[in-house]
Amino acid sequence: MTPYDKREGKIWYNNELVNWDNVKLHVLSHGLHYASCVFEGLRVYDGEIFKLEEHTQRLFHSAKRMDIKIPYSEEEINQATKKIVSVQNVQNGYIRPFVWRGSEMMAVSAQKTKIHVAITTWEWGTYFDPKLKNEGIKLNISKWRRPAPNTIPWDTKASGLYMICTLSKHEAERDGYTDSLMLDHEGNIAEATGANIFF
């Protein structure tokens, strides 16, 4: 598989289409050190973006909860998303818009950091191996719990919330499972590490 930093095409980056391998992020970006980054994950089916407006609304909600003001309107982000999907000619794939604080300040306080926005997309099949659709997936139960609502902005799609998902997924795969079932702070079923659960 081609590493994600070696792919071809364009990325929408701060309102410009930049060559995939020319997009740069400084190592002292606040988003990297302090998890001041929010994102979305959208799907494209047969060239159509699934629930674009709802995902963009959630991106803006997450940013507001993280005290980040996105320097574009929701409509501008929607149009930019459609544009990059068209430029990349993605028919069945994934879209990742994300917003993060830049490198102007290196401290917990970050009011003077520049807010960056990027949108990238690529062809990508189903999240789990397609043969598992009929066989089902094996889940362990993670030792990590989703945080309580009074400990973190739990209703955001923020990078810091995924640290325990990575730990849980790695442990599950090491032990022969497909994924890990995450419980909430009260012991109720919450989600898998990167997928929702519906009853």
pLDDT tens sequence for the chain (199 residues): 889 999 999 999 999 999 999 999 999 999 999 999 999 999 999 999 999 999 999 999 999 999 999 999 999 999 999 999 999 999 999 999 999 999 999 999 999 999 999 999 999 988 888 888 888 889 999 999 999 999 999 999 999 999 999 999 999 999 999 999 999 999 999 999 998 888 8
* Residues paired with 140 in a beta bridge: 180
9-123 and 132-192 share one fold: no
CB 147 within 8 A of CB 109: no
CATH class of the 132-192 domain in this structure = alpha beta
Map residue 79 onto helix, strand or coil. Answer: helix
Residue closest to 127 by CA, chosen among 187, 68, 199, 192: 192
CATH number, domain 9-123, options 3.40.50.300, 3.30.470.10, 3.20.20.370, 3.30.70.20: 3.30.470.10
Q: Round the CA-based radius of gyration of the chain to a whole number and report it.
A: 18
**Residue that has been written with the tokens 């012991």 in this structure:** 187
pTM: 0.94
Tell me the domain boundaries of the chain: 9-123, 132-192
Active site residue 157: yes
Active-site choice (24, 114, 131, 157): 157
